[in-house]
Structure 1
């Protein structure tokens, strides 16, 4: 059974906006509110270049990254075609006008991920073609 942590009142999150939730370890979590008062939570990190999604533009059930305009679904954290990649999502519930996040997920989910520096992929992650003949 989940233990829920009260984060803020829903009215503390601007309509079509976000609020950042700091964690002791790992990248912050962005909590979003759309025009229909639906609330979503994603890691505050675009899978493309690590942009802060909390500073993006919210529309419908999507957010556009402020760095390169990648669009991610707020319900699943995945980029919309033709872009690819996902950022971790977090369980959310709203009760009595108060937004709650799963305390276990806040403590453990995606804490090993860092915000990447924008730029080319590190050499170690690039595919290397062998020049040796078999």
Structure 2
């Protein structure tokens, strides 16, 4: 059950997401990197690396992580945290799949 204060935005169809590659999606003033993982889960994070602003949707995906295409920073797609020895984080967003459509949940 989704909390009533959470807004649900349709962002794409599952078929539009290539496996283990990113897709840039713009919702209002937010630019997101959306990924369909090999396990079928869909993850969405802010589309800019906290290091030098690399476009994360262009990064390489491995498991639950994306590697920034600029300097290879490893970022967890589940919580947005940059992995050591680097540091920082990006905003992550909850997604749900209903039927064939992917929705972004924003409070």
For residue 22 of structure 1, give the secondary structure of its aligned residue in structure 2.
strand
Correspondence 1:38-117 to 2 at 5 A: 38-102=41-105, 104=106
Query: RMSD between aligned alpha carbons?
Result: 1.2
Aligned to 1:10: 14
Aligned to 1:23: 27
User: Normalising by structure 1, what TM-score?
Assistant: 0.73
In the alignment, structure 1 residue 35 sits paired with structure 2 residue 59: no
Give the CA deviation at 1:25: 2.0
User: Normalising by structure 2, what TM-score?
Assistant: 0.90
For residue 100 of structure 1, give the secondary structure of its aligned residue in structure 2.
strand
Is the strand fraction higher in 1 or 2?
2
Q: CA–CA distance in 2 between the matches of 1:83 and 1:17?
A: 23
Residues 74-133 of structure 1 deviation map (CA, whole Å, 9 limit, x = unaligned): 00111111110000011111111211002x45xxxxxxxxxxxxxxxxxxxxxxxxxxxx
For residue 87 of structure 2, give the secondary structure of its aligned residue in structure 1.
coil
Q: CA–CA distance in 2 between the matches of 1:11 and 1:62?
A: 21
Is the helix fraction higher in 1 or 2?
1
Give the CA deviation at 1:39: 0.6
Q: CA–CA distance in 1 between the matches of 2:28 and 2:9?
A: 14
The structure having more radius of gyration, on CA atoms, is 1
